[in-house]
Structure 1
Amino acid sequence: MDLADDGLHDRARWAGIAPDWTDVTGQTRSVAPETLRRLLERIGEADAAAAVPPLVTGLTGQAIPLPPAAGDGAALLVLESGVRIDIAVHRGDDGRGWVPPILEPGYHHLRLQDREITLAVAPLRCFSLDDIARGGRLWGLAAQIYGLRRPRNGGVGDGGIGDSGGVAELARAAGRRGADALALSPTHALFTAEPQRFGPYSPSSRLFLNPLLADPAALFGVGRVAAAIRSAGLDDTRRRCEAAELIDWPAAAQAKLALLRALYDGFDTEAGPLAADFAGFVQAGGALLEDHARFEALQAARLAADPADRDWRRWPAALRDPGSAAVAEFAAAHPGAVRFHAFLQWVADRALADAQSQARSAGMRIGLVADLAVGMDATGSHAWSRPSDVLGGASIGSPPDAFNAAGQNWTLAAISPRAMRETGFAPFLATLRAALRHAGGVRIDHVMGLARLWLVPDGLAPTEGAYLSYPVEDLLRLVALESHRHRAVVIGEDLGTLPWGFADQLADRAVAGMRVLWFEREGSGFKPAEHWSPTAVAMSSTHDLPPVAGWWRGTDIAARAALDQYPDGGVAEQAQRATDRAALWQAVGDSTPPPESPAPVVDAALRFVARSPGRLALVPLEDVLGLEEQPNLPGTIDEHPNWRRRLTRPAGEALAEPDVAARLAAIRRERQR
């Protein structure tokens, strides 16, 4: 390697890019110079002059180090409670100033010389499952919101897309049976002008909500919604969408938005409590909400003029800048269109709040658990409205591993670590607070992203990426602080290979990991449930894996074989599955049922998972109902009906079926032992 490349490696390390990495076999791999150069161009060289960030994190009861450039001497500490304390910042041998220990958690302000620094002082750990369970063991369900059916009430159904009304119904039914949590698929804002882009983990913005998942009756009442359906002539269309086995996203979304438009048209000149609440919501949303609404209205207008004009990065230059005069002129010329999208966010926000309220009223000690996607679509609202927040020109993915020899590119943009430092972690905090706003917990997808992300420069293969480090200690402290402020538990999706020591960091901060039945193995067998991690959430499956019934029957193998994903048609996979069936039944049962009889296996497997020592067990609704198909088949897009499956009947009613009720009762008994 020449001297230029040596210098490149040093620059990369200084910017947080690892010039090498360790693969699943333990072998060290070098990152190509082209990858390092392209990521450096996107991330920017480290700037030593910007050494005093606007926000510094610390822990309660411990001295807080400041950057050397912050200075020392007399200072004023203004606690979040309003208490003012004169302190002295002393410089240590390392050149850093040190703020004396602060016992009160919160966002405090330090006025030192000619600058003010926010001190985010966090508890030592998150608000945890232990804090809620108090020695007991909790359980709950996991559900895909869009797949929930709910019965027609006063002539109003779900319109073909599961929504917060179905969430509330499921929460009430599960809460009556002793469940304490309902983990949901992501509710992030997608693209209302492009309903064919319905993947919940590829959001336009994680700061806002998907209005297609909102039940407007939570805000306006059934009678008013029914009247809007009639006035817009939508009942027949909605009934057809509701009767479908799979979601027809374009048709159902068009009908749902037409309903919301009818409600908006009847509301726009209204006075009274609802109007006042909407005005307060818009004011509280500020520039972030205004920019999101402008983006949604702009994209709809652009697509109406040219259906191929979907990527804002190809718009005229003046429209690519959210602060430009051209964008302001558009908003002034189309105030109703912009206001309508703010209205959609208001409806979605209040409907989700109602669902959480009903979950808690049903006796759930946690209630809803939100799902926070790892990144966002580079063509979406956040990337347009706050481009400096986003690390453009590269996508989040994963390096080659035992399951994906070619690596993965998830086509998601990440928040820039530089933007975090320079803005006092504003984009990260806004994203986290949005997820926790109406939830008793949050599942952080790919939680390893708090420490590092595999980034693939645009145009390169997933194997040609590199790891970019993130300020993990700062982020974990902010997660702990926000967790306590919202009294919400934190679950980290920690499946796969983690950086050395990261699992201990999560455990120390009371971020619960995840343990999934299919991965809890000892040699060729399955690990006894009693030996599962006590600090992790126990699960029978996830949205990316087959439910127990489908795994037992080999439905997932058959689906992949039908798509020609196996060189031998799945013969080897079926043989391995036969061996695994025997191993699973040895762990959970006593006489092996045949593959075509999964019901006894489902019963035994759910009891098995419920015996795990973790404070929380989450069972996907698909397993409780004994379904075979998984919500998402990784590695497929349009060739498989991902994110489109609907339950055959309302979830609340389904939980009352004898076999389902028996499974829930068995789970509850195991968790109470």
Structure 2
Amino acid sequence: MSKDLPNPDETPAVPDTPPDGAPGEPQAPSQELRDLASAHGVVVERPADGGAVPVPAATLVAVLEALGVPAATPQQVAHSLQRAKDDEWRAVLPPTVVVRQGDEKTVPVHVTHGTSVHVWLEVDGAEPGARTHSTRPRRDLDQRDDDTGPRTVDGREVGRATFVVPADLPLGWHSLHALAEGHETRATLVVTPQRLELPDGLDGDQWWGVDAQLYAVRSSASWGIGDLADLADLAWLTARRSGADFVAVNPLSATEPVTPLTPSPYLPTSRRFLSPLYVRVEDIAETAYLTAADRSLVEWAAEPVRDLVTEPGPIDRDAVWEAKKAALEVVFTAPRRAARQAAYEEFVAEQGHGLRDLATWSAIVEHLGRSPRPDELGDPASPAVAALREQLAERVEFYTWLQWVADEQKHTAQRVAREAGMRLGIVHEVAGGAHPHGADAWLHRDVLAGRVGAGAAAGTDAPEGSGWSSPPFVPRALERAGYAPFRDMLRTALRHAGALHVDDVLGLFRLWWVPSGLSPDEGAYVRYDHEALVGILCLEAHRAGAMVVGDDDGDAEPWVRDYLAERGVLGTSVLWRSKDDGGRPLPVEDYRRLALAAVGTHELPPTANLLAGEHVDLRERLGLLTEDDATQVRRLARADRDAAVLALAEHGLVSEHPSEREIVEGLYRSLRRSPSLLVGVQLVDAVGERRPQHQPGATTEYPSWKVPLGDGAGNVVLVDDLYDNARLRSLLQAVRTAR
């Protein structure tokens, strides 16, 4: 394993008991350690029953070390605390300045005391490929009086001057410049929208659509897994047959280039790029011009997986990728028309070094297999990587081309959706993190934390917390990078999307960090600059002409959801999780307007399963619940069901003794009475599926993320046959006419 990548199995060398304390008793942090943690955005208390408790010293030390702040000894704490007090004064300019359009903002500039400084900005000057230096609009900034006195930093007397960023700047990525003592310093300036405006026609209306896990939605033409052509067909059918306004899908982000593939779409190797697993080989234009011999090779590659689409058992991603990869290699060698070649070259130029680096990583992983990477390959900018890129040039080109054909088919799906009448089209999702040993961890090693993983604090759904293993962004490192990795990820995710669903949008405010070797409930929250991150999210969505839905169904500080609404980011209201202060179902009339309302999510079992309590039976069979725990969980699940049915009956949405199908339709009809702007219908509920897509805690015992779309009896339902399903036709008609 390369030393630059986080290893979830390593344990940080930090004390977890005081030298003179009882074994196993967590050491309370000193006030100095608490002050240091707070100075770096680490929350020194964590949620507990009835309130909050102090974060143990061991956790604070481990999290600070992951942030690049030495804190293992009292001397290191004292030194790091002093550095934290002076850090702002060491920099001439802040690394990144984020301001809302129409707001004036002051920027502190630090130079040797008594030295004059000239500060200006260049419009649209913060990105590669922007206009040349000589043609960018340049504006000198006015200085404002500042009576802050000088400070001695590292033996140098430093003074502060304050300059004003004007309020009339256009949206976009600009650059700040300061010239002092013959040295020029540059920083990123981002002007973001005050608010992301809603699409035309949505304000005052309510749009509805279908939510699907694409890999599970297969057709007779699929190669064993749902693909982008199936997405286009699903969008067309639901738009034309049912009047749906959107189709929302799981993250389609990049997977590993070699098997075995990570099954979870929420732990991709890269959040920025697409998985070629979703490419429909036959829809690539060059496939039509293959020779008879090459066409036979494609057909032979498909033969072992063609029949998998009718198999009700777990989806075999590895077999599908091996087959598709062999076929794609054949199509890759086919000549492209001049216009197609030009389009490919434009795509490569537009995606820049990020695409080249992903393709390089893929080629290297393929070349080395699953063996650990030598240390000299740990840095993407190293001579060793450059040499291997040249050696593997053809494979690098192949993986570059794969992204182009995937992007083309993603574009086609959105075009088909809109042409079929959808007012929004495809809602794509970006995962909350990426694989700790994937491409992002390699490409962004300078801005991702090592020896920690993101997770969730203990809560109702996860009493012991949960760990996701994905390395989180280091807030200050991301700021020093001008937020470019975050921006670039958003841009690719927003390509050809009517809306973007941000998984765990609350992580843009604070994120639960779990140090390696500690359990998920032993983590701590780390704060992020939400004004910058949410502002950049709104800016990139505005530029893409898309709206944003954030998964904010979780533990959040009281003001956070109001802040997101103020910025025009929709939240998520999940019926099974929406309760009033008394623990009763929240009336749908009280749902938020700026929200996507849904009965469930991919994290919950299908509604038919929940109504029958089958999710409790499954957890008990898998050994995830003791008999006593199962009795209690089953009682609570039955109470939730009864409360939901009672609420439906009070509104005349179900009969006195409703069937399962009647209850499901009643739940969705009730959502149409909510003020929420969007309503999502899970495709699994529409066809009567009962099997969960994911079972937390059962890594090998349950086929999470491998369950194909099926009906209540487990029979496969293909895209071709969706509208032969009476239950689907009935539910979608009920939703369409409910308002």
Q: Displacement, 1:103? A: 5.3
Q: Which amino acid aligns with 1:21?
A: R
Partner of residue 203, structure 1: 268
In 2, the alpha carbon distance for the partners of 1:638 and 1:471 equals 38
Q: Which amino acid aligns with 2:613?
A: G
* Contact 1:72 1:91 (C-alpha < 8 Å) held by counterparts: no
Partner of residue 165, structure 1: 229
Secondary structure of the residue that 2:482 maps to in structure 1? coil
Q: Displacement, 1:592? A: 5.0
Partner of residue 639, structure 2: 579
Partner of residue 123, structure 1: 193
Partner of residue 32, structure 2: 7
Deviations 1:564-618 (A, max 9, x none): 2221173333333333322111112343547xx4211111111112221111111
Partner of residue 134, structure 1: 203
In 2, the alpha carbon distance for the partners of 1:242 and 1:327 equals 40
Q: Displacement, 1:57? A: 0.9
Partner of residue 642, structure 1: 704
Pick from 323, 326, 336 the counterpart of residue 258 of structure 1: 326
In 2, the alpha carbon distance for the partners of 1:3 and 1:628 equals 47
In 2, the alpha carbon distance for the partners of 1:33 and 1:578 equals 42
* Inter-CA distance 126–72: structure 2 relative to 1 (3 Å threshold): farther
In 2, the alpha carbon distance for the partners of 1:225 and 1:199 equals 34
* Inter-CA distance 110–560: structure 2 relative to 1 (3 Å threshold): same
TM-score (norm: length of structure 1):
0.91
Partner of residue 56, structure 2: 32
Q: Percent identity?
A: 32
Pick from 279, 297, 300 the counterpart of residue 366 of structure 2: 300
Secondary structure of the residue that 2:53 maps to in structure 1? strand
Secondary structure of the residue that 1:439 maps to in structure 2? coil
Deviations 1:188-207 (A, max 9, x none): 11112134312111111111
Q: Displacement, 1:351? A: 1.1
Secondary structure of the residue that 1:69 maps to in structure 2? strand
Q: Displacement, 1:8? A: 1.9
Partner of residue 385, structure 1: 443
TM-score (norm: length of structure 2):
0.83
Counterparts of residues 453-464 of structure 1 (less than 5 Å) = 453-464=511-522
Deviations 1:412-441 (A, max 9, x none): 111221221111111111111121112111
Asked if residue 144 in structure 1 is aligned to residue 198 in structure 2, the reply is no
Q: Displacement, 1:237? A: 0.7
Pick from 358, 361, 384 the counterpart of residue 419 of structure 2: 361
Pick from 589, 606, 611 the counterpart of residue 552 of structure 1: 611
* Contact 1:92 1:98 (C-alpha < 8 Å) held by counterparts: no
Asked if residue 241 in structure 1 is aligned to residue 308 in structure 2, the reply is yes
In 2, the alpha carbon distance for the partners of 1:439 and 1:450 equals 21
Q: Which amino acid aligns with 1:591?
A: S
Asked if residue 184 in structure 1 is aligned to residue 184 in structure 2, the reply is no
* Contact 1:625 1:660 (C-alpha < 8 Å) held by counterparts: yes
In 1, the alpha carbon distance for the partners of 2:145 and 2:366 equals 56
Which range moves more in the overlay, 643-652 or 617-626?
643-652
* Contact 1:74 1:88 (C-alpha < 8 Å) held by counterparts: no
Counterparts of residues 8-23 of structure 1 (less than 5 Å) = 8-23=33-48
In structure 2, runs of 5+ residues without a counterpart are 1-17, 19-26, 70-83, 125-130, 149-160, 710-715
In 1, the alpha carbon distance for the partners of 2:610 and 2:616 equals 8
Q: Displacement, 1:112? A: 4.4
Secondary structure of the residue that 1:391 maps to in structure 2? coil
Counterparts of residues 324-363 of structure 1 (less than 5 Å) = 324-363=382-421
Secondary structure of the residue that 1:477 maps to in structure 2? helix
Q: Displacement, 1:170? A: 0.6
Q: How many residues align?
A: 652
* Inter-CA distance 538–394: structure 2 relative to 1 (3 Å threshold): same
In 1, the alpha carbon distance for the partners of 2:175 and 2:303 equals 58
* Inter-CA distance 217–584: structure 2 relative to 1 (3 Å threshold): same
In 1, the alpha carbon distance for the partners of 2:632 and 2:305 equals 45
* Contact 1:399 1:462 (C-alpha < 8 Å) held by counterparts: yes
In 2, the alpha carbon distance for the partners of 1:576 and 1:4 equals 38
Which range moves more in the overlay, 316-325 or 337-346?
316-325
In 1, the alpha carbon distance for the partners of 2:454 and 2:645 equals 38
* Inter-CA distance 22–575: structure 2 relative to 1 (3 Å threshold): closer
Asked if residue 509 in structure 1 is aligned to residue 562 in structure 2, the reply is no
* Contact 1:218 1:354 (C-alpha < 8 Å) held by counterparts: no
Deviations 1:97-144 (A, max 9, x none): 322212532223444444444321122111336x54031111111111
* Contact 1:396 1:456 (C-alpha < 8 Å) held by counterparts: yes
In 1, the alpha carbon distance for the partners of 2:686 and 2:65 equals 49
Counterparts of residues 263-302 of structure 1 (less than 5 Å) = 263-267=331-335, 270-302=336-368
Deviations 1:632-662 (A, max 9, x none): 1222222111111222233354145443223
In 1, the alpha carbon distance for the partners of 2:99 and 2:700 equals 47
* Inter-CA distance 222–607: structure 2 relative to 1 (3 Å threshold): farther
Asked if residue 58 in structure 1 is aligned to residue 99 in structure 2, the reply is yes
Which range moves more in the overlay, 563-572 or 213-222?
213-222
In 2, the alpha carbon distance for the partners of 1:53 and 1:535 equals 34
Deviations 1:210-268 (A, max 9, x none): 1001223443277458965632412421223223223112111211111111211334x
Q: Which amino acid aligns with 1:381?
A: A
Counterparts of residues 357-506 of structure 1 (less than 5 Å) = 357-506=415-564
Q: Which amino acid aligns with 1:585?
A: V
* Contact 1:520 1:526 (C-alpha < 8 Å) held by counterparts: yes
In 2, the alpha carbon distance for the partners of 1:461 and 1:213 equals 35
In 2, the alpha carbon distance for the partners of 1:509 and 1:133 equals 16
Partner of residue 154, structure 1: none
Secondary structure of the residue that 1:172 maps to in structure 2? helix
In 2, the alpha carbon distance for the partners of 1:662 and 1:386 equals 48
In 1, the alpha carbon distance for the partners of 2:287 and 2:724 equals 25
Q: Which amino acid aligns with 2:324?
A: K
Q: Displacement, 1:489? A: 0.8
Q: Displacement, 1:325? A: 2.5
In 2, the alpha carbon distance for the partners of 1:374 and 1:172 equals 29
In 2, the alpha carbon distance for the partners of 1:260 and 1:75 equals 52
In 2, the alpha carbon distance for the partners of 1:85 and 1:324 equals 38
Q: Displacement, 1:518? A: 0.4
Deviations 1:523-546 (A, max 9, x none): 354222222121211001100102
